[in-house]
Structure 1
Amino acid sequence: MSDLPNPLSSIADSFLNKNSKKTMSERIAPLHKIIKEKITRIQQNSTSKKSGNTVEAPAVQTSKAAPISVSWARHQDEVKEAQRLRYKVFAEEMGANLKPSKEGLDVDIFDSFCDHLIVRDNETLKVIGTYRALPPHQAKQMGCLYSDSEFDLTRLRHLRHKIVEVGRSCVHRDYRSGGVIMALWSGLGQYMKKNQYEVMLGCASVQMGDGGHYAASLAKMLNNEQHLTSIEYRVFPRLALPIEELNSSLEVEPPALIKGYLRLGAKVCGNPAWDPDFNTADFLTMLRLDDIHPRYAKHFLGNN
């Protein structure tokens, strides 16, 4: 792969100021100005108690004898544990350009609106996996989804009241087994079923250490009726991965996360966006609970 040129470097120079260290959030100023104004109004008009419209994250039943346990963060200290794991994985391991943190936490303005799913090692009690979920009523309070910063979601507007946006998923490098991923998905499935949410939306990120050629080839491989949503659910990246300028003819296999989503019954909503801060190609995926493959419904939703 080393002999293949990386056209993203020239694109990055034209899109980003070479001397600027602005994050993606800072670059999308108009959207975030609206978000900050909404947050200010919410903080001024709310108390520390949750409103009557808030739906609590359900407890996740686990066995004390199991090596891992799954639960939803109940207080800020547990949220910080999840944020610390995210920083370790995204910034320290993957080299993402995150906002510097003295505490070693990955924090953004969406966190306070989200429910945070965590997996613990029952022996060490360390948080080893996490997902965050932004439910519809909280997205309405926030004024947008995180995905709005990467994609034009106009065609999904009529689904917003049904959508839970999931993201910031990561697993500690010593625990990247199918068991931890399935535990996270089971927690999300119970959350969706308990609260009667219908659609799960989130970005599946693909690393671009090779300059983006693998991601471009993956996009081409997924560009078919089997894997794409129908046309009325397509989204459009604000900063598209330049597939036509990359080698998209490689024979590739989807990464484990995307392969798992597809097996569950999820669909890809279109071409990927390029996230320069994380150096990833982000594929927006949508899973409608009615479309979950029967083979996985029992584990994911607890169906008999």
Structure 2
Amino acid sequence: MSMAGPGCAQAHQLTVRLAANENDLRAAQRLRYRVFIEEMGGTGDLVDHAARLERDRFDAIFDHLLLIDETRDPAASDHVVGAYRLLPDTRVTPPGQFYCDDEFDLTPLRHSGRRLLELGRSCMDRSHRGGIGMLQLWQGLAQYVLDHDIDILFGAASFHGADPQRWAQSLGWLHHHHLAPQELRVRARQTNSFAPLTRDVLDRRVALAQMPSLIRAYLRLGGVVGEGVYVDPAFRTTDVCIILDTAAMSAQARAFTLRGTAESGQA
């Protein structure tokens, strides 16, 4: 899979493809280190601080969708400026574990009888934030979904910090307005202090303003959330489980996501 971006001159220097070799993977892990370790203060058992790599035991089985800056030197492992980790249900680790199984009870998704794809480790180099890069990654993701006949996308999406009350308005809004239907409603495995605010004290403007842009983007595509939150001590985040049913996407959202594949000649 390869996709050149439409539009401005900078976009023509960016391509989207799956990691093809160990150097691509190291570049993605180095980007993840900059974002998740240096910027967000996270850690992990397999993080290599000397080499500045954020990695874990799942990296070997995931596909890694990469945004490549063609002006950077691949030999220096700094050519990856955006990344997504993708794990289809045909390739889960024994005994059939997804990454976020430790955080959420995924039984409803497994019992749905539909093709699943777990998303994770979405990140963008600081120099490319606010541009067209994230849209290009999403268009690459859309092509992957088509190629693998995926029905449901899901994964942990994070609020920065390990105190759910800091994000009480956003988390309450998600619970009352975007809770997954019962047949897809995964639940957090962790008992913690989170309890959603009641509807009468929610302020839509505040809730959406505080919400991470990636989560807002999932909502625009028809995304919903599982019940409860998981406080991740290693990454110092408060996680919700985002679920996106491709059959439930509006025609407008589907056209927006797939537009770039048509423009770039991808079927």
1:96 is the counterpart of 2:42? yes
Q: Distance in 1 between matches of 2:140 and 2:94?
A: 24
Tell me the residue number matched to 1:206. Answer: 159
Aligned-pair identity (%): 34
**Unpaired runs of at least 5, structure 2:** 74-78, 263-267
Tell me the residue number matched to 1:55. Answer: none
Q: Distance in 2 between matches of 1:244 and 1:98?
A: 27
Tell me the residue number matched to 2:145. Answer: 192
1:281 to 235, 238, 244: 238
1:87 to 33, 36, 48: 33
Which amino acid is the alignment partner of residue 82 of structure 1?
Answer: A
Per-residue deviation, 1:301:
3.0
Which amino acid is the alignment partner of residue 267 of structure 1?
Answer: V
Paired residues for 1:107-256 under 5 Å: 107-125=55-73, 126-139=79-92, 141=94, 143-159=96-112, 162-208=115-161, 211-224=163-176, 226-244=177-195, 251-253=206-208, 254-256=211-213
1:300 is the counterpart of 2:257? yes
Q: Distance in 2 between matches of 1:142 and 1:60?
A: 32
Q: Distance in 1 between matches of 2:14 and 2:153?
A: 24
TM-score normalised according to structure 2 size: 0.83
Paired residues for 1:39-50 under 5 Å: none
Q: Against the structure 1 CA distance between its residues 193 and 78, is the aligned structure 2 distance closer, same or farther, given a 3 Å change threshold?
A: same
Per-residue deviation, 1:97:
1.9
Q: Distance in 2 between matches of 1:222 and 1:245?
A: 9
2:16–2:68 contact (8 Å) kept in structure 1: yes
Q: Against the structure 1 CA distance between its residues 249 and 294, is the aligned structure 2 distance closer, same or farther, given a 3 Å change threshold?
A: closer
Q: Distance in 2 between matches of 1:259 and 1:174?
A: 21
Which amino acid is the alignment partner of residue 43 of structure 2?
Answer: N
Tell me the residue number matched to 2:265. Answer: none
Summarize deviations over 1:141-191 as a string: whole Å, max 9, x none. 562111101011222222476111010111111211151211111111100
Per-residue deviation, 1:60:
2.7
Which amino acid is the alignment partner of residue 199 of structure 1?
Answer: I
Aligned residues: 244
Per-residue deviation, 1:195:
1.5
Dislocated runs of 4+, deviation >4 Å: 245-250
2:114–2:152 contact (8 Å) kept in structure 1: no
Higher-strand-fraction structure: 2
Q: Distance in 1 between matches of 2:120 and 2:113?
A: 16
1:241–1:281 contact (8 Å) kept in structure 2: no
Tell me the residue number matched to 1:33. Answer: none
**Unpaired runs of at least 5, structure 1:** 1-58
Which amino acid is the alignment partner of residue 41 of structure 2?
Answer: G
Larger Rg: 1
Tell me the residue number matched to 2:22. Answer: 76
Tell me the residue number matched to 1:61. Answer: 3
